[in-house]
């Protein structure tokens, strides 16, 4: 079986964090060659094969790979032993409309799918818990990463000052051109627009920086925040970009798991 080519991040011992690339799987066309997302139009059997390959690379059982159905909202789901014991249909229902997943169970990979949106991976080395967050512009404007950190505090006792974070591949501000309505959504949400936006012909918003500032705002140490700097639009040959390929294309999967 051809294993996927992953981009790994260093967040500390005892944790594996990564983003998938477009290379190493069995998908074809705009899904080529590695896509594990069932919600973007790819062949279900090919997705199954790719998921098995990813699990082999990560050395986990397929049922311990968590892939939520995201809706650009702020839904968050905890994955615990009770969740893992549920039938697949019940698990799927719990993962419907979820844009952030967290766990403190070892060898369970929680992750999110993106194709220009921003994936954020969080690791609490003190309480041994992890979280994956999907932050599109809507989720970013609604501060989903701060909501996720608050939930980690409730569930695991996580303190933001203890967190290590990775902001994965996403569209850079150079290519994230938006209409006035998107600019207004961030402005109304109270963001310092001079810091995250600039205007050419249209507005451009820096989602990387917006999410980094949100992490710092709640107490995450800037030195513990890694920004990958990988622009999916510029590097669409290696990472999926909906703006370059259309929405009928594959998705990057950014995941994190405790060992």
Buried b (16+ CB within 10 A) or exposed e, 17-53: bbbbbbebbbbeebbbbbbbbbebebbeebbebbbeb
Write the pLDDT tens digit of every residue in 11-40.
999 999 999 999 999 999 999 999 999 999
- Does domain 6-258 fall under CATH 3.60.140.10? My reply is yes
pLDDT band, residue 53 (cuts 50/70/90): very high
Task: Read off the pLDDT of each residue in 222-244 and give the average, rounded to a whole number.
Answer: 98
Tokens of 138: 């809507």
Q: Map out the domains of the chain as residue ranges.
A: 6-258
pLDDT band, residue 2 (cuts 50/70/90): confident
pLDDT at 94 over 90: yes
CA distance 37 to 21: 13
Return the SS3 of 159.
coil
CA distance 253 to 113: 5
Mean pLDDT, the chain, whole residue set: 97
Report the candidate in 78, 68, 143 with the shortest Cα–Cα distance to residue 105: 78
Task: Read off the pLDDT of each residue in 240-256 and give the average, rounded to a whole number.
Answer: 97
Q: State the DSSP code for 18.
A: E
């Amino acid at each position: 079986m051809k294993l996927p080519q992953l981009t790994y991040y260093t967040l500390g011992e005892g944790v594996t964090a990564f983003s998938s690339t477009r290379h190493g799987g069995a998908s074809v066309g705009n899904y080529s060659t590695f896509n594990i997302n069932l919600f973007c139009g790819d062949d279900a059997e090919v997705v199954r094969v790719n998921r098995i390959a990813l699990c082999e690379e990560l050395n986990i059982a397929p049922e311990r790979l968590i892939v939520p159905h995201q809706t650009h909202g702020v839904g968050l789901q905890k994955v615990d032993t009770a969740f893992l014991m549920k039938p697949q249909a019940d698990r799927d229902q719990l993962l419907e409309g979820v844009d952030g997943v967290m766990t403190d169970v070892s060898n369970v990979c929680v992750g999110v799918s993106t194709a220009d949106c921003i994936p954020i991976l969080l690791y609490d080395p003190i309480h041994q818990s992890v979280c994956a967050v999907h932050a599109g512009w809507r989720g970013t404007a609604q501060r989903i990463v701060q909501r996720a950190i608050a939930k980690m505090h409730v569930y695991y006792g996580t303190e933001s000052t203890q967190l290590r974070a990775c902001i994965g591949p996403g569209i850079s501000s150079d290519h994230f051109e938006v209409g006035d309505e998107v600019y207004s959504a961030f402005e109304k949400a109270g963001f310092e627009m001079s810091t995250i936006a600039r205007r050419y012909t249209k507005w451009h918003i820096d989602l990387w920086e917006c999410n980094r500032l949100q992490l710092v705002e709640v107490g995450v140490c800037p030195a513990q925040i890694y920004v990958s700097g990988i622009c999916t639009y510029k590097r669409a040959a290696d990472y999926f970009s909906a703006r370059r390929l259309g929405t009928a294309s594959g998705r990057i999967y950014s995941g994190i798991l405790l060992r």
